[in-house]
Structure 1
């Protein structure tokens, strides 16, 4: 279209990590936009209804040769990575956030794709954890690769703020860290994030960019998340405080055995991850002040967290009545 930096031409696109909630939503959006989409899944992955309309290929991203062969056959113009380590443990992070992504990148370059879109995370701004360092290491590889790139760093997902829905539905209090106001975020839904990522395919001005993105705002604290959940449930808010120090202590104790046991190393990292999310906001980090800024965190989309909570509570109620 005249005066627009986007293009309406359908593209051949390969999406890795398409079995996840974000990846499947991206595939769904791309198909709806008229693109020719291949969903790349692990061999044991279950098919999501959201993948309807896409070609399905299976491969282990640890198998560089098989991955290269698939992309050489597909010849995608754009490759999108929505893969992420599930546990965040050091070994898992290295294997997935770095090595698997690197295999995918090399396969994309070998297949002469012209654009690689990476779903990263906003928390890499202040890297204290293994998976954050792994993501940053791959971001560096991507930026230096002979292919155009776009890096998307979303804030908190609706899913990541939904762990206490069932708890509240059972009549229990909402757990907060400290006073519940230690952190803030602008959560974004799967569908809105998928639409933002899909828009990156056609918007050339987003190439070569690292793009933080949040939901429609405003930024909310953990306590406010709980208040929204209770409002959706039609109940008076009840909170119980969990001290952040418990994670610090657990990490310190578990770290003592980390040198001799992978089990201790992983559990120590899990405790550090818990402490990180209990104390760090998922917002843009101001490089000058070193503080998180809600104002500097871009907003996108229309979906609201309270509506997501209402849908989850309704589903839970329906399930309990069956």
Structure 2
């Protein structure tokens, strides 16, 4: 439907609105004049998200993503033109990520096809460019299903989130050293805020040129290393710079020890994967990967938005002071 001012009003179903990114997406869609409906699981976090979605002006539906028939009914009731999936495993464990990143998304896609939706937008991750972890393979398996489906698709692959780079703010404010892997220059990223990523996704929903595209996206540059993140925090707190280096090889050792019992224990399998995940993020940049050279490129990583990591740090420090 087209409004009097020429903007296109689209009915959009958002799955995964219980997470911080999903909630931001719902707000951005409503602010953009779209009809947003949140599809949630019945849980404590789902009920909380339902209240927030309703307060923002969005509709709310509940469904079990593991039950295809029930999911079909919910999606058909929403009658969306576009489905946005922000579904993602919270743990990254092999069992959990297969159930969420792959199977739940496949069920959602089948339900969207059944409801005759036109467009399916997936929030994925830039790290699937170099897949070594269970959740990366699960995401790629679903991306393949989506691309091969009859629906138009848009796959958004963001770089690092502000939240993932904010874990040491309180630590530094207390005068403790900033923890680094190696020399702190092993990786770089262009972090993007929840709000800017949500606005980018909302833009993709109404932009026909974004259909049938895989879109990596970062926040405003330049790309930043962990050591530079530490320097920023020390400057903002007025603390004397202090660093403590940890060798990423420790994660390899932990993974080898834990993996011996992985075939016999889901708990050990999860812990083994956590060690692999930690090693990956300690050594791989969250930037576009050049398939020819095998190198990460800050210049090739698109930027969007205006929120900066420095402003985020300033806000967090103000809140903790």
Provide TM-score, normalisation by structure 1. 0.94
Aligned twin of 2:19: 20
Which segments of 5 or more consecutive residues in structure 1 lack a partner in the other structure?
1-6, 318-322
Out of 148, 167, 172, the residue aligned to residue 171 of structure 2 is 167
Q: Report the 3-state secondary structure (helix = DSSP H, G, I; strand = E; otherwise coil) of the residue aligned with 2:294.
A: coil
User: 1:232 Cα shift?
Assistant: 2.6
Contact 1:254 1:267 in 2 (8 A): yes
Distance 1:267 1:115 in 2: 37
User: 1:49 Cα shift?
Assistant: 3.8
Q: What is the aligned length?
A: 311
Matched, 1:8 2:7: yes
Aligned twin of 2:96: 92
Distance 2:235 2:114 in 1: 52
Matched, 1:79 2:79: no
Q: Kindly report the root-mean-square deviation, in angstroms, between the aligned alpha carbons of the 2 structures.
A: 1.1
Cα deviation code 1:225-284 (max 9, x no counterpart): 111222232323221111111101000100011111111111000000000000000000
Quick check: 91-100 or 308-317, which moved more?
308-317
Aligned twin of 2:105: 101
Distance 2:114 2:241 in 1: 55
Aligned twin of 1:139: 143
Q: Report the 3-state secondary structure (helix = DSSP H, G, I; strand = E; otherwise coil) of the residue aligned with 2:262.
A: coil
Aligned twin of 1:4: none
User: 1:123 Cα shift?
Assistant: 0.1
Aligned twin of 1:36: 35
Q: Report the 3-state secondary structure (helix = DSSP H, G, I; strand = E; otherwise coil) of the residue aligned with 1:149.
A: strand
User: 1:73 Cα shift?
Assistant: 1.0
Aligned twin of 1:3: none
Runs of 4+ in 1 over 4 A off after TM superposition: none
Provide TM-score, normalisation by structure 2. 0.95
Distance 1:233 1:81 in 2: 38
Which segments of 5 or more consecutive residues in structure 2 lack a partner in the other structure?
1-5
Q: Report the 3-state secondary structure (helix = DSSP H, G, I; strand = E; otherwise coil) of the residue aligned with 2:264.
A: coil
Contact 2:72 2:115 in 1 (8 A): yes
Contact 2:62 2:74 in 1 (8 A): no
